[in-house]
Amino acid sequence: MKDDLEKIIAKALKAKTEPPRGRRPEPLKRKVLAMIFEKPSLRTRVSFEVAAAQLGGSAIYIGPDEVQMGKRESVADVAKVLSGYADVIMYRAFSNEVMHELAKHAAVPVVNGLDDLEHPCQCAADLMTVMERKQKLKGLQLAYVGDGNNVCNSLLLGCAVVGMNMRAATPKSHAPNADILSNARSIAEENGCVVEAMSNPFDAVEGADVIYTDTWVSMGQEEEREERESMFLPYQVNAKLVERAGKDWMFLHCLPAHRGLEVSEEVIDGPQSLVFTQAENRLHVQKAILAAVV
């Protein structure tokens, strides 16, 4: 697991420096990526589609109305049909359970483009961005502030795997997944780092090298907007909070961002923010992932 993640990050960093089209490797030449989207996305769709093209392949977008996974057609049938057409499947899903069912029945690799439990491709791009800026991962301190969602869950696992310390500050009612936290703690112990869950954001960011937040209202949670915005207000990443950070701290956000809610304008648009480098790095991580699975 550690070797796999570190290889993906190293390949992504190398991919970022590779020459223009015509002189770069094309491991996806004459290969097809099928992209199933139950949730819309700017970064996931464009980064995977461009990645496939830059690696010499092609990508097909399959929207939510075209599949209706498990309703119009069984998950197993979708997996078997697409396995006959495509060389790789990328799935952006509502359910982690359905993600695993698709992978179980597919005869080609399935890449998790996001589900309700994890967002592994985003985590790889996040760690790549930290490595690019800090030139190391092991021993650094990442503070995640906000909702203990899929991004937070993947960061707990990813940081533990690479030996990076992490504190996740969330309301107790919106803590990260308990099983993932337990797993991350076991992995962290093996790799000489510590991952923690807490409720005080000021404690979380104390001396942090990286401060990370995400939207308070994810897709499918719109009915909870008013309640969530009120609950999470003490977790806004703003000038007062980041005073506790380390000397050369950096700010990350997986986007889309809502200025004035989870993050203040002065932080996300300030000199410590690497959110657009982070977004660009999704492309290079997708290239590394696709090249590794074909």
Is 30 labeled as catalytic in the residue annotation? no
| Position 254 pLDDT exceeds 80 | yes
Same domain, 131 and 259: yes
Is 258 considered catalytic here? no
Pairing of strands 250-253, 210-213: parallel
Percent of the chain with pLDDT over 90: 89
Say if residues 4 and 288 touch (Cβ distance below 8 Å): no
Considering the domain architecture, whether residues 113 and 124 belong to the same structural domain is answered as no
Considering the candidates 92, 167, 253, 284, report the single residue annotated as catalytic. 92
| Percent with pLDDT over 70 in the chain | 98
Residue from 147, 253, 254, 278 carrying the catalytic annotation: 254
Whether 132 and 210 have beta carbons less than 8 Å apart is answered as no
pLDDT at res. 225? 87
How many other β-carbons are positioned within 10 Å of the β-carbon of residue 1?
Answer: 10
- Residue from 119, 167, 228, 284 carrying the catalytic annotation: 119
What's the domain range around 86? Answer: 2-118+282-293
Same domain, yes or no: 253 and 146? yes
> Is 223's pLDDT higher than 90?
no
Span 226-248, average pLDDT? 96
pLDDT over 70 (residue 93): yes
Active-site position among 43, 45, 253, 282: 282
Is residue 254 part of the annotated active site? The answer reads: yes
| Mean pLDDT, the chain, whole residue set | 95
The predicted-structure confidence for 24-46, as pLDDT tens digits, reads as follows: 779 999 999 999 999 989 999 99
Per-residue pLDDT reduced to its tens digit, 258-284 = 999 999 999 999 999 999 999 999 999
196 and 77 within one domain: no
253 is known as an active-site residue: no
Catalytic pick among 43, 116, 122, 209: 122
Let me know whether 124 and 265 are in one domain. Answer: yes
Q: Which spans in the chain are helix H?
A: 2-16, 43-54, 64-67, 75-85, 96-105, 120-134, 150-162, 178-190, 201-205, 225-232, 239-242, 265-268, 275-293
Note whether 113 and 142 are same-domain residues: no
In one-letter notation, the amino acid at residue 273 is: S
Distance CA 150, CA 147 (A): 9
Q: State whether 149 and 224 are in the same domain.
A: yes
| Whether the Cβ atoms of residue 283 and residue 71 lie closer than 8 Å to each other | no
Binning pLDDT at 50, 70 and 90, where does residue 191 land?
A: very high
Q: Mark whether 161 and 241 lie in a shared domain.
A: yes
Residues 274 and 135 both lie in one domain: yes
In a shared domain, residues 236 and 108: no
Tell me the CATH number at 152: 3.40.50.1370
What is the rounded distance in angstroms from the CA atom of residue 211 to the CA atom of residue 23? 37
Quote the pLDDT of residue 3. 87
Tell me: do 206 and 251 sit in the same domain: yes
Domain count, the chain: 2
Contact 138, 113 (CB under 8 A): no
Same domain, 111 and 124: no
- C-alpha span between 98 and 262 (Å, rounded): 30
